[in-house]
Structure 1
Amino acid sequence: MDTAELDAYLRRLGAEQPARPTADVLRELHLRHLRTVPFENLSIHLGEEIVLEEKRLLAKVVGECRGGFCFELNGLFGALLVALGFDVTLLAARVYGDEESLGIPYDHLALRVRTVDGGDWLADVGFGANSHYPLEFGERGEQTDPGGTFRVAEVGRESGGREFGDLDVFRDGKPQYRMEVRPRALGDFVAGSWWHSTSPASHFTQSLVCSRVAEGGGRITLSGRTLTVTSADGDREVTELATDGEVLAVYRERFGMELGRVPEMGEGSGGR
């Protein structure tokens, strides 16, 4: 990521160039990312190719003011943090589904981030409704966050861990994903991205979603033609959008995205 690309990314987030890669800077960037760059799977339903390469992700997220799903968002956020001097490790995870079953290998991408002031953090801007701030990687007690109460727990082989050191991430007592601690490269996640973009069994091919954290701490979500605005207190306002014009206006006004047409289910795959 060159200087011009770094500056453009920071402008997208409304952030200044930080003096040092500290924990406070990481927290600020994490929250700004969640508020600015939506979690969305629209490429899958617009027939757009999803390519896990830094330049292509920059063109999409920064150049086109789009969002993406975990591989794109955390992959690019990790590259931004590296450019700012953070020590970043990409980690593979498997997401918990119904009845607490685990998804495919390379199901999710999360970040382990070390800061110059001694912090060791789990950063994740690509899991939809999740923590607003990074979680302390080594803390095993409950961690309170505007997004809920989180806990990072060790998993042994006797509990299904692939090796000692696997970690389960819980939100409000419910397991979210199981994470390996072995370092990975962005290219390792290509198969997982392809599966989620093409498989009929993937929830991403079965749904349309665009969501971000609102300024007041709530959430704004557009699922197909249903707009849901949730306050920080949990109050929900649901609006059904009748026309394509209304849908495109919400993408533009609520998410800052200019789409040429409304994405529709079953229009094709953006898999690589």
Structure 2
Amino acid sequence: MTSRLQDIDLYLQRLGYERAPPPTLDSLRELQRRHTAEFPFETLATLLRMPVPIDLASLERKLLHEGRGGYCYELNRMFLALLQQLGYDARGITGRVLMGGPEDALPARTHLLVLVTIDGVRHIADVGFGGMVPTAPLRLDDEDAQATPHEPYRIESRDGHYLLRAQVAGEWRAMYVFDLQSQVEIDYEVGNWYVSTHPESPFLGQLFVARTGPGLRKTFNNGSFAVHRLGEDSVRRQLADAGAVIEVLRSEFGIRVPEHPQLHAALERLLARSAAA
């Protein structure tokens, strides 16, 4: 499996660069901010129960040429390759998602993120955590609150592992727990296989979409489209039918919605479940 991007120039152009930026902390901050705004988090593939290949050639085709987004094993896998080719000291690590559940839970390792060391200081970078993706790198060995272009985050050290929290509505909510265990391609493949195929995966048959913008986040959670502006109440609306969902995916998230014979039916089932919940 190749570990190098073949179309890095197009990737950088999508991020607004005419030439490769230097591997500095300032560049990393800007790359992460731009990436979360340009490439949406989306789970159309798992909604349709389609395979989710994560080799770099497939990722480049989907994200750069087909007008799509993806989830962590796609977005962070490609971002990791970009950082490495730009000269960063970067490697993949994995975590267990706690958001919305108990903090003492031990779910499967289903989240891929990136550890980046710059001038001896370790940071985590993450462009694939859906509606609460951090929009700036975070210092690993610092338990103070850290500002980003969106919410503040902080990292707590706990007996060899780390807990990421975000401040949401005045509360420090747990996002995910992770450690620094080395990961290789097969670890990504196994985690991705679980997320995309296991009956208990929260993504299977579901649609979650997210994208950031200046001072705001946009999310689609099954039947509800929401715009969350910093310091303001969220604005939500329930979408009535599959056509409305597809229009929002195109106009609000910039997704080139794939032609798939089962898409309308899958969306209608999703909306019906949401309405009944």
- TM-score bracket relative to the smaller structure: 0.7 to 0.9
Q: Do structure 1's residue 221 and structure 2's residue 223 form an aligned pair?
A: no
Query: Given the two structures, how large is their TM-score scaled by the length of structure 2?
Result: 0.84
CA distance in 2, matches of 1:174, 1:239: 24
Contact 2:94/2:110 (<8 A) preserved: yes
Q: Report the counterpart of residue 42 of structure 2 in structure 1.
A: 40
State the SS of the aligned residue for 2:147.
strand
CA–CA distance in structure 1, aligned partners of residues 217 and 34 of structure 2: 14
Distance in 1 (alpha carbons) for counterparts of 2:85 and 2:51: 26
Residue in structure 2 matching 1:154, options 142, 157, 173: 157
Residue 90 of structure 1 and its aligned partner are, at CA, apart by 0.7
Call closer, same or farther: CA 1:43–1:149 in 2, change over 3 Å. Answer: same
- Residues 107-134 of structure 1 deviation map (CA, whole Å, 9 limit, x = unaligned): 211111123x554311011112132111
Cα 1:166–1:230 change in 2 (3 A) is same
Aligned to 1:169: 164
Tell me if the contact between 2:208 and 2:220 (Cα under 8 Å) persists in the aligned partners: yes
- The alignment partner of 1:169 has SS state of strand
Do the aligned residues in 2 keep the contact of 1:248 with 1:258 (CA within 8 Å)?
no
Q: State the percentage of identical aligned residues.
A: 32
Stretches of structure 1 that go unaligned for 5 or more consecutive residues are 157-164, 268-272
2:230 aligned residue = 232
Tell me, in whole angstroms, the C-alpha distance in 2 between the residues paired with 1:211 and 1:21.
Answer: 27
Deviation at 1:19, TM superposition (A): 4.1
Superposed, 1:1-272 pairs within 5 Å as 5-96=7-98, 98-115=101-118, 117-128=119-130, 129-156=132-159, 165-172=160-167, 173-205=172-204, 207-214=206-213, 216-259=214-257, 260-261=259-260, 262=263, 264=266
- TM-score normalized by the length of structure 1: 0.85
**Which stretch shifts more, 71-80 or 45-54?**
45-54
Residues 39-93 of structure 1: per-residue CA shift (max 9 Å, x gap): 1111011232111211111111111121111111111100011111111111111
- The more displaced of 226-235 and 95-104 is 95-104
Distance 1:177 1:102 in 2: 10
- In 1, Cα distance between equivalents of 2:5 and 2:156: 38
